Amino acid sequence: MSLKTRLLVAILFILLCSIVLMGVVSVNVAVSESNDALTKAAKERLISQNVQTGEAINEYFKFITSQIRTKSFNVSLIDAAEKFIPAFDKYVSERGSVSASQKRLLENYYSSDFTQQYNESNPEKLTDAASALDGVSQTALAFQYDFIAGSSFALGEKDGLTDLANNSTYAQLHNKYHPDMRQFLQEFGYYDIFIVDIDNGNIVYSVFKELDYATSIMTGPYAESGIGEAFSAASNAQKGDVFFSEFKKYRPSYDALAGFASSPIYSNGQAIAVLIFQMPMERINNVLTHNTLWSQKGFGESGETYLINDNSVLLNESRFFVEDKPSYLNAISSKYPLQAQLIRKKGTSIGIQPVDSDAAKKALRG
């Protein structure tokens, strides 16, 4: 091969290598820029989805704030509070004290009906439910017997009783105000609505009539719970102020997670009562789970948004629990065996599943 030919081959080889190298570099640059663009687009989409979900949650809490404030200003509600408080205080004198047999039936309701329902949804068995009656007033015993243990309505349907069929002042007031309050609760999906005497914390009215009904949330068995927290905040507040409790386990609701909103009720310039809403976890959960339409909402096959509290516990349903419960339980059982057992028993991951991902830790740090 002549020198000229060898030089030509060498030049062609160098040129070919240069073309290949340039091609490889161009492809790598293109791939890198494409990956960067896709990553940026994905991040922007996630940020947008996060902002939209956060705004939806904030708007819902603003709605609750506006609603409970407006309700606490309502003339009919103020009138109800003014009348329920004295009627509550004189109920036993008008009705008569709880008999020994009635008290036994009430205790049996705690240890049988309530306990059975509690044990069906909790792995740790409840054995001393009736101890919550220790120290409660005769008035509380009378109300709980008449509206709960002595009611013909089934467990979970005690709000169905409107006419108490006795001649007490309270019975007349309940017959007057309960239908509207119950309709309001059902219309907006609240779990319960309470009117609480600001002087002693007595729950003088409740729509749903659970074990907190007629007890004092200032000194009674649920004073240290979320409802007590909500009452305490509102009992020293100005007219129109609204407060929210933390979401915590609540025994009258079978230790399900419960959150409360509260606002004082004023009459003639004086605070006389506190209005409390027990918030519906279902509504909040629907916002965060996008009504379980994750794929249609742009979250792909595994994306989700979720809310956690300061203890890093999930406050809405996990997507993976909803879509593939067996695989979900299998996945968390090795790391959180006790929580997995509780989730399996309760049929929900809300308020149970710990979330200790790096993303969650960074979010809690701001």
Contact in structure between 325 and 346 (CB atoms under 8 Å): no
pLDDT (tens digit, 9 = 90+) per residue, 193-209? Answer: 999 999 999 999 999 99
Distance CA 144, CA 211 (A): 8
* pLDDT of amino acid 20: 63
User: What is the mean pLDDT of the segment spanning 151-159?
Assistant: 95
Q: Which of 29-43, 85-99, 157-171, 313-327 has the lowest mean pLDDT?
A: 29-43
Tokens of residue 228, six digits = 């007590």
HEC letters along the chain = CCHHHHHHHHHHHHHHHHHHHHHHHHHHHHHHHHHHHHHHHHHHHHHHHHHHHHHHHHHHHHHHHHHHHHHHHCHHHHHHHHHHHHHHHCHHHHHCCCCHHHHHHHHHHHHHHHHHHHHHCCCCCCCCHHHHHCCCCHHHHHHHHHHHHCCCCCCCCHHHCCCCCCCCHHHHHHHHHHHHHHHHHHHHCCCEEEEEECCCCEEEEECCCCCCCCCECCCCCCCCCHHHHHHHHHCCCCCCCCEECCCEEEHHHCCEEECEEEEEEEECCEEEEEEEEECCHHHHHHHHCHHHCCCCCCCCCCCCCCCECCCCEECCCCHHHHHCHHHHHHHHHCCCHHHHHHHHHHCCCCCCCECCCHHHHHHHCC
Tokens of residue 183, six digits = 């309709």
Reported CATH class of domain 61-283: alpha beta
Distance CA 173, CA 273 (A): 16
Give the end-to-end CA distance of the chain in Å, rounded to a whole number.
73
Would you say residue 188 has pLDDT above 90?
yes
Would you say residue 26 has pLDDT above 70?
no
Neighbours of 142 (CB within 10 A): 24
In DSSP terms, 260 is beta-bridged to 278
Report residue 25's pLDDT band, with 50, 70 and 90 as the boundaries: low
Distance CA 36, CA 53 (A): 25
User: What is the mean pLDDT of the segment spanning 48-60?
Assistant: 84
Sign of CA pseudo-dihedral 17, 20, 26, 31: negative
User: What is the mean pLDDT of the segment spanning 107-120?
Assistant: 96
On average, the pLDDT of the chain sits at 90
* pLDDT of amino acid 30: 59
pLDDT (tens digit, 9 = 90+) per residue, 253-287? Answer: 999 889 999 999 999 999 999 999 999 888 888 98
Q: What percent of the chain has pLDDT over 90?
A: 61
Predicted TM-score (pTM) of this structure: 0.86
Domain boundaries of the chain, sorted by first residue: 61-283, 289-364
Q: Which of 24-33, 140-149, 341-350, 353-362 has the lowest mean pLDDT?
A: 24-33
User: What is the mean pLDDT of the segment spanning 80-87?
Assistant: 98
User: What is the mean pLDDT of the segment spanning 212-232?
Assistant: 96
Report residue 116's pLDDT band, with 50, 70 and 90 as the boundaries: very high
